[in-house]
Structure 1
Amino acid sequence: MAGSERSLGEWVDRSLDVESYKRGVFRRPLLHGALIGSLLVMLLPVVMTLLMSTQPSVQISSSTLTGVGSEGLSNYEAVLFEENFATYLVNSFVMALAVAVGKVGIALLAALALVYYDLPFKRLILLFILFTLALPVPVRIVPMYEIMVSLDWENSMLGLVTPYFASATSVLLLRQHFRSISASMVESAKLDGVGPLKFLVYVLIPMSRSMIAGLFAIAFIWGWNQYLWPLIIINDQSKQVLQVGLAQLNPQAGEALWGLIMAGAVITLLVPLLLMITLREPLLDTVSMQTK
Structure 2
Amino acid sequence: MEADTKTGTAQAVRRNKPRRRTAHIHIALIVICAVLCAPVVYALLGSTQNNSQLLNFRLSPGEFFGENLSVVWNDRDLWRYMLNSAVMSAIIATGKAITGILAGLAFVYFRFPGRSIVFVLVLVTLMMPTEVSILALFGIVDDLGMSDSLAGLTIPFLASATAAFLFRQHFANLPANLSEAAQLDGANPLQFLWRVLIPMSWNVTGALFVIQFLYGWNMYLWPLLSVSGSENQVVQVGLASLQAAGEGQSYGPLLMGALVASLPPVLVFLALQRPFMTGFALTRDK
2:63 is matched with 70
Q: Which amino acid aligns with 1:141?
A: I
Q: Which amino acid aligns with 1:139?
A: V
| CA deviation profile, 1:60-95 (whole Å, cap 9, x unmatched) | 2x3242211111222112211110101101101000
1:134 is matched with 127
2:49 is matched with 55
1:4 is matched with none
CA distance in 2, matches of 1:262, 1:81: 16
Percent identity between the aligned chains?
Answer: 36
CA distance in 1, matches of 2:263, 2:74: 17
CA spacing shift, 1:279–1:105, aligned 2, 3 Å: same
Question: Is 1:81 aligned to residue 74 of structure 2?
Answer: yes
- 1:283 CA displacement: 1.9
- 1:183 CA displacement: 1.2
The match for 2:31 among 28, 34, 37 is: 37
CA distance in 1, matches of 2:10, 2:112: 59
Q: Which amino acid aligns with 1:24?
A: P
- 1:278 CA displacement: 2.0
Could you tell me the TM-score, scaled by structure 1's length? 0.89
Report the 3-state secondary structure (helix = DSSP H, G, I; strand = E; otherwise coil) of the residue aligned with 1:237. Answer: coil
| CA deviation profile, 1:173-210 (whole Å, cap 9, x unmatched) | 11011011111121110000111111111110110111
Report the 3-state secondary structure (helix = DSSP H, G, I; strand = E; otherwise coil) of the residue aligned with 2:243. Answer: coil
CA distance in 2, matches of 1:153, 1:290: 40
Question: Is 1:262 aligned to residue 255 of structure 2?
Answer: yes
1:6 is matched with none
CA spacing shift, 1:57–1:164, aligned 2, 3 Å: same
Is the 1:130–1:168 contact (alpha carbons within 8 Å) kept by the matching residues of 2? yes
- May I ask how many residue pairs the two structures share in their alignment? 278
Is the 1:173–1:290 contact (alpha carbons within 8 Å) kept by the matching residues of 2? no
The match for 1:204 among 197, 200, 204 is: 197
Counting only pairs closer than 5 Å after superposition, residues 35-184 of structure 1 correspond to structure 2 as 35-60=29-54, 62-184=55-177
Report the 3-state secondary structure (helix = DSSP H, G, I; strand = E; otherwise coil) of the residue aligned with 2:27. Answer: helix
Could you tell me the TM-score, scaled by structure 2's length? 0.91
1:22 is matched with 16
Q: Which amino acid aligns with 2:113?
A: P
CA distance in 1, matches of 2:48, 2:237: 22
2:186 is matched with 193
Counting only pairs closer than 5 Å after superposition, residues 210-225 of structure 1 correspond to structure 2 as 210-225=203-218
What runs of 5+ residues in structure 2 fail to find an aligned partner?
1-6
